[in-house]
Amino acid sequence: MHDLDAALGLALTLVVTADADLLEIVGLSMTVSMTALALSCAIAMPFGALLGTCRFPGRGAVVVALNAMMGLPPVVVGLLVYLLLSNAGPLGFLHLLYTPGAMIIAQTVLITPIVAALTRQAIEDLHTEYAEQFRSLAVPGHVAIAALLWDGRWSLLTVALAGFGRAISEVGAVIIVGGNINHLTRVMTTAIALETSKGDLAMALALGLVLMTLALVVNALVFAVRHQTERHAHA
């Protein structure tokens, strides 16, 4: 497998020489996916917590629908966002199509159900544990939700990582709404798709290795932060 060796060498060269194009692409990937993650956490975590603690008619249907939406195909999300943002579409006046803004919107739509559904489960489990205490102390609803979100923060961090993993690795949505434009909307995954279609498989794989390393670094950082914090908490 000549391409595999070549890919490993190329990946190392790209990283060691701090290739300018690579840094630009990695930077945009991180900016887009991190922004999308922050937005979807801000929307989905309170929503998920609310859904995990409240009881109302039709709740089961909402939970099932939300869980199903975790399987939203990125290309369908891309298409929907394209139709919305297209100059012929209802939000065309924003002129967001083929910008990083459009990519953020698409990824936010894609991962919000994932973050919401997983938050709902984590908070619901915690709530069963705490419910009686909350009742006996007559804790108001919004205080209870805040307490649950805080106590569940490490589970929610893993939830956020799941959302990040989905966002940083998807190609279907960003290639449609971003257009994979060089120096404007090209991210890791669309660059990989492009190199593959050029037949430069070694370069495509090298970029893939860089992307996986990036995900590894993000996860390691999160792990380290948690480890440190817990050490301090127990000290």
Interface with other proteins (CB under 8 A)? 35, 39, 42-43, 46-47, 50, 86-89, 92, 94-102, 104-105, 108, 179-182, 184, 194, 196-201
Q: How far is the CB of 53 from other proteins (least distance, A)?
A: 13
Q: Give me the least distance between CB of 23 and other proteins, in Å please.
A: 17
Nearer Cβ to other proteins (92/172) = 92
Least distance in angstroms from the C-beta of 17 to other proteins: 19
Closest to other proteins by CB, 62 vs 225, is 62
Closest to other proteins by CB, 98 vs 130, is 98
Q: Are 33 and 114 in contact (CB under 8 A)?
A: no
Nearer to other proteins, 63 or 94 (CB): 94
Positive/negative CA dihedral, 134, 136, 141, 142: negative
Q: Which residue, among 125, 123, 105, 102, has the nearest Cα to 36 in the 3D structure?
A: 105
What's the min distance (Å) between Cβ of 86 and other proteins? 5
Are 159 and 115 in contact by the 8 Å Cβ rule? The answer is yes
Cβ proximity to other proteins: between 200 and 219 the closer is 200
Shortest distance in whole angstroms from residue 151 CB to other proteins = 21
How much of the chain is helix, strand and coil, in % rounded to 5? 80, 0, 20
Q: How far apart are CA 145 and CA 87, in angstroms?
A: 41
Please say which residue, 119 or 180, places its beta carbon nearer to other proteins.
180
Instruction: Please give the Cα distance from 164 to 162 (Å, whole number).
Output: 5
CB of 185 to other proteins, least distance (A): 8
Residue 6 and residue 202 in contact, taking contact as beta carbons nearer than 8 Å: yes
Q: Report the distance separating Cα 84 and Cα 93, nearest Å.
A: 10
Please return the burial class of 141, using the count of CB atoms within 10 Å of its CB with bins 0-12, 13-18 and 19+: exposed
